[in-house]
Amino acid sequence: MSAASKSAKTQASESFEHTLETFLHDNPDFFASRPDLLAQLDLSHPSGGAVSLLERQVSVLRDKSRQLERRLLDLVQVARDNERLSQRMHHLALGLMESESLDATLATTQEQLAREFSAEHVVLRLLGEPTEGMHYLSPQTPGFDTFKDLLAKAKPACGRLAKAQLKLLFDSSVSDQIQSAVVVPLLDGQETLGLLALGSIHADRFHPDMGTLFLEQLGQLVSRAILGCRNQS
């Protein structure tokens, strides 16, 4: 057979396949009245051998069903996690409402986050002079400018922190142990009140790809509680 004949045969075959594909696409119920023909059609199976078109369709539908089931289970788990998170936030809000002083507010925040959110290390650093108390941090402290971008964005940061940042936030006895952390800016509008930090000895506990919506809400909640105490004093 000449090359020209082979080319013409190939084109005719491709044209027929396209016509057939279009017809079956436009008439999806074509095999409904032809069950015998459907059972006679064979398709190669990924595992080898041949199966009927009907069996192949059943296999494909089963695979899709498993995928949908897995997605549904994932969604259910996310819903459960969000429900537990909502309950914990509710408990924290109640605790902060019962706090009658700034020291009590800071202590409640640390205790609730450590207990309800399984945070290994929780610290709050309010802007001020260290002579005011252990929770205060002066903006003039060496290394504080490393948080400039974080405060400018007014968004929580997750992942690994620089050693200087860890030493600035956490006690020297634990700063070297922390492998991942979260830093949440505490704000009053555009004014910075301080920083809330959670640290973990596990490198994958906090990572840059994790969502920050909850952390933003947490920062707002703690910031309002701090402002409420300051306004009362």
CA atoms within 13 A on the CB side of 120: 16
Question: What's the pLDDT band for 196 if we cut at 50, 70, 90?
Answer: very high
- Cβ atoms 105, 96 nearer than 8 A: yes
61-99 pLDDT tens trace: 788 888 888 888 888 887 887 788 788 888 888 888 888
Per-residue pLDDT at 157 exceeds 60: yes
pTM over 0.95: no
DSSP 8-state symbol, 50: E
DSSP state string for 128-194 = S-GGG-TTEE-TTSTTGGGGHHHHHHT--EEE---HHHHHHHS-HHHHTT--EEEEEEEEETTEEEE
- Cβ atoms 165, 147 nearer than 8 A: yes
Q: Cα torsion for 96, 103, 107, 181, to the nearest 10°? A: 100
Per-residue pLDDT at 1 exceeds 70: no
Quote the CA–CA distance of 88 and 103 in Å, as a whole number: 21
Quote the CA–CA distance of 106 and 99 in Å, as a whole number: 9
Question: Count of CB atoms within 10 A of residue 197's CB?
Answer: 24
Question: What percentage of the chain has pLDDT greater than the value 70?
Answer: 85
Question: What's the pLDDT band for 49 if we cut at 50, 70, 90?
Answer: low
Average pLDDT over residues 20-41: 74
Quote the CA–CA distance of 191 and 57 in Å, as a whole number: 62
Domain boundaries, the chain: 71-232
Helical H runs in the chain? 3-26, 35-40, 53-98, 102-116, 148-153, 163-169, 172-175, 213-232
Give me the CATH topology for the region 71-232.
Beta-Lactamase (3.30.450)
Strands 50-52, 42-44: pairing kind: antiparallel
Q: Enumerate the β-bridge partners of residue 194.
A: 126, 186
Question: Count of CB atoms within 10 A of residue 217's CB?
Answer: 13
Residue type, 103: D
Question: Count of CB atoms within 10 A of residue 78's CB?
Answer: 10
Per-residue pLDDT at 184 exceeds 70: yes
Q: Enumerate the β-bridge partners of residue 125.
A: 195
Per-residue pLDDT at 117 exceeds 80: no
